[in-house]
Each structure stands twice: as structure tokens, then as C-alpha cells.
Amino acid sequence: MKLQDLEHLRSDRRIRFSNEIVNGQELTIVCYMVGDNELWQLPLATECRGIVFDANGDCVCRPFHKFFNVGENYFTQVSTVSGMNLEALEKRDGSMLTPVLVGGKVFWKTKKSFNSEIAIEAANNVPQNVMTLAIWLLRQNFTPIFEYTSPFNKVVLNYGETPAFVLLAVRHNESGNYIAYDEMKELETAYGVEVIKKFDMTLQDCLNQVDTSLR
């Protein structure tokens, strides 16, 4: 993935190309500001969720692509996804954070910026094992994606009095491929970094639980 691959989207007002100086280097963050079904039909628009490029146009941070609720569009209808190989993972109530290696140092960002209050706070609370894992993955051109929860920035749920980083996914910057959940569990064992919980549930189990909760 190169910055030039997204040039056809630069004039689209729904997507913002913003530049930030980090450790003396200019980085470009591409993120959608407004999403609609028309936008998601455009090539690579779903990648515009905080993806970052360096001055050479190389991808240095590749967060989650845009994903959708069940039934939100034609390709997430129950009849379409029920036959797929699916995993049920916990949805934590925090902020998505990704690290970026710039000039040999690690900097943290939220979806839209390195300079948000949460990104700055999180950077001051990164445990050493999380930092060690992040550096190891970044040097291999992978982006680790974390959910950050903190008593200082509680959204709704209370996760305790200690800031926490939970590994949600690991994505290759160039190919965009995600590593398997079992591989993340191996990283959990090796580095002592918490990995998002996985549940033994089918799609129908999940739908039934949501339906029950809404009654």
C-alpha cells in the first residue's frame, strides 16, 4: 500500500488527508470524516480509517479497515456471512490506538491524530512489555492494534483503576493481511500482553444474545 494508491480519493470531501510532524518527519494520515454507502463503493475507501504514510509514500501504520454491522449492507446480510468462518471477539469500550516507528522511536496515535489527548495520555502509560512487543512487530512491518482503557478517559464501562492495553489485531502494512488469532495468543504467551477475548459462539448465538439484551 502506497499513498499514491489513495490519490483518487484526495478530492473527496468525505475523506481527510492531514499532515503531522512527528519526531521531525512529516507523516500523512488518511481518514474518512463522513461515511456512506456510496463512499464504500470507491476503491480502497475502506482503508481510510487512520492509515499513515511517511514522506516517501510508504505505509507505516495500517489500522483496521472499515468494518460494518451485520445487516448494514448487502455483503453483511446474515444469509451472506452465516456460511463464513467467523470468530466472536469481545468488544471493549475504549479507544483504538496504534504505534508508529518514526526515526527509531515509537509514537502512539488514535484514529485521526498523534496529538489527541488520549494518544498523549496513552503514550505516558505504555507498559514495557507492550512497548517491547510493539517495537518487535513494527520492525517487521506489522501494525499492532490495541484497545486502550483508562480511568482517566472512561467511555461507559469501568475497567478498573489502571490503564490497560489489549491487543485486538496485528496487520501487515504492505499486504493488509491480519495474523491469525492463534498467532496473537502465542504473542500473549511470549510477551505477557493481554489479547482480546475470543468466545465459543456462532453467529446465531451472537444475534440471539443481542436480541435478548435489547428486550
Residues ≥6 apart with Cβ < 8 Å to 170: 137, 142, 143, 144, 145, 178, 179, 183, 184, 187
CB-CB contact of 32 with 143 (8 Å): no
CB-CB contact of 25 with 54 (8 Å): yes
CB-CB contact of 158 with 149 (8 Å): no
Question: CA 111, CA 187: separation in Å to the nearest integer?
Answer: 24
Of 30, 69, 36, nearest in space to 52 by CA: 30
| Identified catalytic residue from 91, 105, 185, 197 | 91
What one-character DSSP code corresponds to residue 177? P
**How many CB atoms sit inside 10 A of residue 199's CB?**
12
Active site residue 185: no
Query: Among all residues, which ones are annotated catalytic?
Result: 91
